[in-house]
A = this chain, B = another copy of it.
Amino acid sequence: MNAVTPTPRRGRPPKAQAQLTRSAIREAALTVIDRDGIAAVSMRSVSRLLGVDAKSLYHHVADKDDLLDAVAEHLLGELTAPELTGELRADLTALAHEFRRVTLAHPEAASLVLTRQLSTLAGLAPIDAALSVLTHAGADPEQAVRLLRVLVAALVGMLLREVSAGPTFGSSDPTDIAVRQTALEGSGLPEVVACAPFLARFDQDGEFASGVDLVVDFVVSHLAVTHA
């Protein structure tokens, strides 16, 4: 037996299989996501990566859903609120771009971060930072929450599009743009035809930046009116 089963000392490569932990499982799941996409995540694929039986995972995560929540939560925790300057526009913009950075750091995991409703309080820190910016600019709590919600909705919507769009929605590749523009022009819908060149084109970085500018403008103007 000793001859057949390898001794612990010279077992499989550095599988880090020393001890199965919740965080090791979470990291393995993220590795699978990055490598093969969110659809490839299964209790079996994750456990395979850890050199362990799938059922062992259940000692550390309640079920697959819990595992995905853990991943989402951890990624959101990577968001470090930039230090605030006190300048409304600059601070909101910085927060928005930091949110995007975190989301796009693992594009295949983005849908988790953007759509999971996290039940724990993790990732409440960025909310706090955003509220702080808004109230320091003169918003009362009720207004701050309302503005925050529209802001977050817009960011989530933009990032979700960016991440799930792939080349479908509009592209930065000239050939794709041409193809799509032709399709749009053949739709027979007058406004779509008129706007086709702009609908077909989608520059991810630029769209996000200008979208954030618009949304931040909006917040600024709302606070300026009420407060000045």
Does more than half of chain A's interface fall in helix, strand or loop, or is it mixed? helix
Check A131/B164 contact, CB under 8 A, given A214-B150, A218-B218: no
A89: shortest Cβ distance to chain B, in Å?
15
Contact status of A153 and B161, CB under 8 A, knowing A132-B191, A214-B222, A222-B214: yes
Minimum distance in angstroms from A197 CB to a CB of chain B: 7
Distance between A186 CB and nearest chain B CB, rounded to angstroms: 8
**The residue from B128, B195, B199 contacting A189, defined by CB atoms under 8 A apart:** B128
Q: In the complex, what distance in Å separates the CA atom of A194 from the CA atom of B150?
A: 19
Contacts of A131 in B (CB 8 A): 191-192, 194-195
Q: Whole-angstrom distance from the CB of A28 to the nearest CB of chain B? A: 23
Contact in complex: A119, B198 (CB < 8 Å): no
Interface residues on chain A, number (Cβ under 8 Å): 56
B-contacting 9-mer, from A43-51, A53-61, A139-147: A139-147
Q: B146 and A210: CB pair below 8 A?
A: yes
Contact B165 A158 (CB under 8 A): no
Encoded as 1 (CB less than 8 Å from any B CB) or 0, chain A from 190 to 228 comes to: 111011011100000001001100110110011000000
**Among B135, B150, B195, which residue has its beta carbon within 8 angstroms of that of A141?**
B195
Known: A141-B198, A187-B121, A214-B222. A153 touches B158 (CB 8 A): yes
Chain B min CB distance to A25 (Å): 22
In the bound complex, how far is the Cα of B149 from the Cα of A211, in angstroms? 8
Residue of B149, B160, B165, B191 near A207 (CB, 8 A) is B149
Enumerate chain B residues within 8 angstroms of A222, measured Cβ to Cβ: 214, 217
Q: Which residue in chain B gives the minimum CB-CB distance to A142?
A: B198
Residues on B with beta carbons closer than 8 Å to the beta carbon of A119: 168
* Bound Cα distance A169, B145 (Å): 13
CB under 8 Å from chain B, chain A span 71-86: none
**Which residues of A, 129-174, contact B by the 8 Å Cβ criterion?**
129, 131-132, 135, 141-142, 144-147, 149-150, 152-158, 160-161, 164-166, 168-169
